[in-house]
């Protein structure tokens, strides 16, 4: 029987929108943007200034979303060319599953299909909602049954929530072929009663999985997320920067950074809603993108529209593709972006809504280890 790594978490500036374009033209622009796009070759690190150049374009695109919504039509998704994984490639996925027991007991075929299609080397799972070791043991067996026939032997790392039952928690599924690694729970080894973060440290890279706290319906955790030098966003970014290896940060960041990542950005409630407040969006830019972190999907597909990773189940928003892009793979400044081959969103794995997996593929093998940027 394969060995298993196991650990228990310790208790505990916005510009004005341009003039509204002609509605029919706006809709046509979105439809045009949904046509197949080639992957961007040799992605480069973009500065904050580069992002600002696209700001007005993004606002025009979102006015077009509004016109599509008014017509009751589905927001088109840009069709993106995928990279075919080779023998020297490494694929990392992140998926907020919203209850791992539910997934394994009722929809394990979705996880099996995901593994068959993407052949991931590591899978980060979030919001697993496991509260104790017994629940982790139960899911450990079910998880192995689901994935090992496809991926071969795996190691599983758990960081369950001890703060309250049925809440938060993270886990990593790692193929044995990915190489040896060390594990850290929490951010920088600090107490992590909500089971928010896990770090895998390989010889040549580090991968940080994080389920960033939601600010809450009443925004009661907004300050915890975004205020001051000791806020959650600041701690997480600084931790990733301190890792002395090429580093990826992946997970549910609970923020929609760009206007194009929000299906109804023009609505007045958006700046007051968790995940789309000005404070959260600015914090993401201040601590990540302006500090050299690369949003891999936006970097490789800068013109893509309608590409979301979350849809409200309660509002039945998936059929009309009315979503948000809340899930990311961020490349820290240390990560060599010339090795990045693909960044993608797997919206088909959320047929009724909620979160879908996101991921990246990059060149990394025993013959081609990563080197710090």
**Domains by residue range for the chain, with CATH:** 89-363 (3.60.10.10)
> What would the DSSP string read from start to end of 81-147?
PPPPP-TTEEEEEEEE-S-HHHHHHH-HHHHHHHHHHH--SEEEEE-----SHHHHHHHHHHHHHHH
Pair of tokens at residue 135: 């629940």
User: Position of tokens 């992140």?
Assistant: 94
φ, ψ (nearest 5 deg) of residue 199? -120, 130
The DSSP 8-state label assigned to residue 215 in this structure reads -
Clarify whether 109 is annotated catalytic. no
Q: With beta carbons less than 8 A apart as the criterion, state whether 154 and 147 touch.
A: yes
Radius of gyration of the chain (CA): 20
Q: What pLDDT shows up at residue 52? A: 46
> What are the angstrom distances between the C-alpha of 332 and each of 74, 152, 211?
35, 30, 17
> What are the angstrom distances between the C-alpha of 75 and each of 29, 61, 179, 307?
12, 11, 41, 9
Pair of tokens at residue 41: 């070759």
Cα 285 from Cα 255, distance rounded (Å)? 11
Q: With beta carbons less than 8 A apart as the criterion, state whether 201 and 184 touch.
A: yes
Clarify whether 355 is annotated catalytic. yes
Q: Indicate the annotated binding residues.
A: 96, 127, 252, 254, 354-355
Pair of tokens at residue 287: 């601590």
- The DSSP bridge partners found for residue 183 are 200
Q: What pLDDT shows up at residue 363? A: 98
H/E element holding 159? strand 154-159
Q: What pLDDT shows up at residue 366? A: 87
Query: Which listed residue (65, 211, 310, 328) is catalytic?
Result: 211
Helix (H, G, I), strand (E, B) or coil at 56: helix
The pTM (predicted TM-score) of the whole model is 0.87
Per-residue pLDDT of the chain (373 residues; tens, 9 = 90+): 443 445 543 333 444 444 444 544 554 555 455 555 555 554 555 544 344 444 444 554 555 688 898 889 999 999 999 999 999 999 999 999 999 999 999 999 999 999 999 999 999 999 999 999 999 999 999 999 999 999 999 999 999 999 999 999 999 999 999 999 999 999 988 889 999 999 999 999 999 999 999 999 999 999 999 999 999 999 999 999 999 999 999 999 999 999 999 999 999 999 999 999 999 999 999 999 999 999 999 999 999 999 999 999 999 999 999 999 999 999 999 999 999 999 999 999 999 999 999 999 999 998 889 998 8
Q: What pLDDT shows up at residue 328? A: 99
Query: Which listed residue (252, 261, 295, 327) is catalytic?
Result: 252
Q: Indicate the annotated binding residues for Mg(2+).
A: 96, 127, 252, 254, 354-355
């Amino acid at each position: 029987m394969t060995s298993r790594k196991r650990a228990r978490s310790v208790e505990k500036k916005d510009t004005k929108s341009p003039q509204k374009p002609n509605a029919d033209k706006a809709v046509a622009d979105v439809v045009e943007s949904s046509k197949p796009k080639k992957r961007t070759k040799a992605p480069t690190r973009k500065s904050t200034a580069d992002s600002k150049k696209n700001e007005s374009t993004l606002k025009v695109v979102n006015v077009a979303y509004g016109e599509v919504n008014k017509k009751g039509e589905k927001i088109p998704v840009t069709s993106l060319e995928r990279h075919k994984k080779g023998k020297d490639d490494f694929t990392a996925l992140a998926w907020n599953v919203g209850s791992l027991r539910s997934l394994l007991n009722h929809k394990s075929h979705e996880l099996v299909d995901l593994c068959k299609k993407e052949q991931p080397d590591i899978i980060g799972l979030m919001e697993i909602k496991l509260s104790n070791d017994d629940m982790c043991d139960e899911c450990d067996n079910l998880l192995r049954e689901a994935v090992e026939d496809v991926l071969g032997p795996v190691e599983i790392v758990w960081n369950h929530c001890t703060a309250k039952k049925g809440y938060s928690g993270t886990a990593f599924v790692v193929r044995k072929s990915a190489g040896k690694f060390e594990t850290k729970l929490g951010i920088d080894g600090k107490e992590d009663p909500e089971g928010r973060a896990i770090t895998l440290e390989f010889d040549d890279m580090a991968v940080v999985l994080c389920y960033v706290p939601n600010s809450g319906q009443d925004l009661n955790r907004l300050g915890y997320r975004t205020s001051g030098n000791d806020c959650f966003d600041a701690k997480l970014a600084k931790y990733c920067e301190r890792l002395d290896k090429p580093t990826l940060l992946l997970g549910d960041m609970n923020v929609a950074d760009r206007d194009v990542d929000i299906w109804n950005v023009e609505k007045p409630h958006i700046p007051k809603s968790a995940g789309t407040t000005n404070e959260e969006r600015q914090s993401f830019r201040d601590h990540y993108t302006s500090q050299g972190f690369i949003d891999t999907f936006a970097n490789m597909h800068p013109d893509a529209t309608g590409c979301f990773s979350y849809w409200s189940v309660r509002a039945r928003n998936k059929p009309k593709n009315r979503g948000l892009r809340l899930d990311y793979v961020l490349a820290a400044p240390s990560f060599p972006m010339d090795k990045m081959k693909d960044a993608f969103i797997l919206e088909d794995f959320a047929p009724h809504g909620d979160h879908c997996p996101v991921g990246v593929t990059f060149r990394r093998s025993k013959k081609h280890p990563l080197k710090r940027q």
